[in-house]
């Protein structure tokens, strides 16, 4: 079986960096992809899809440090669906891309005026697999 996702899109907002209770960095990003087509009637159509992406470890810290809203990225990863019970007692689901490779495309480096990463927050994600522990040699830049 294969569970692989490849996306090329633009960030819809600045990435958000958090830390698990064990100190593992995890970055959350929203990426927009666009599909265009011409229908049988000759009319052009367009649809934007939004994707939630999670990046663990050093690569996640780099994403939070260097990426900003509007920046184009290439993401490889796998789909994962999480579930939890909301405060209202309703079970909720979220499907996200767990990235194992993020390549920064068009655009420049981080602005010096950018806000610092948020303080460590509650552990709201499952622990990543050991294979997601990346060294400096694995960072694509």
In tens digits, the chain (141 residues) has pLDDT values of 999 999 999 999 999 999 999 999 999 999 999 999 999 999 999 999 999 999 999 999 999 999 999 999 999 999 999 999 999 999 999 999 999 999 999 765 444 333 333 333 333 334 444 444 444 444 443
pLDDT given at position 106: 77
Give one word for 70, left, alpha or beta, with left for phi > 0 and alpha for psi -120 to 50.
left
Check: CB of residue 26 under 8 Å from CB of residue 56: yes
pLDDT given at position 107: 64
pLDDT given at position 4: 97
**Helix or strand run (H / E) with residue 64:** helix 57-66
At 82 the three-state DSSP class reads: strand
Give the pairing type, strands 16-19 and 91-104.
Answer: unpaired
Check: CB of residue 139 under 8 Å from CB of residue 59: yes
């Amino acid at each position: 079986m294969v569970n692989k996702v490849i996306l090329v899109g633009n960030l819809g907002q600045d990435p958000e960096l958090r830390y698990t209770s064990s100190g593992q960095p995890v970055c959350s990003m929203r990426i927009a992809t666009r599909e265009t087509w011409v229908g049988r009637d000759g009319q052009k159509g367009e649809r934007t899809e939004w994707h939630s992406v999670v990046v663990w470890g050093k690569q996640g810290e780099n994403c939070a440090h260097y990426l900003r809203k509007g920046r184009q990225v290439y993401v490889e990863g796998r789909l994962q669906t999480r579930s939890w019970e909301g405060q209202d007692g309703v079970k909720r689901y979220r499907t996200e891309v767990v990235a194992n490779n993020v390549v920064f495309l068009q655009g420049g480096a981080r602005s010096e005026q950018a806000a610092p990463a948020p303080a460590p927050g509650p552990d709201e994600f499952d622990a990543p697999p050991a294979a997601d522990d990346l060294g400096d040699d694995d960072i694509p830049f």
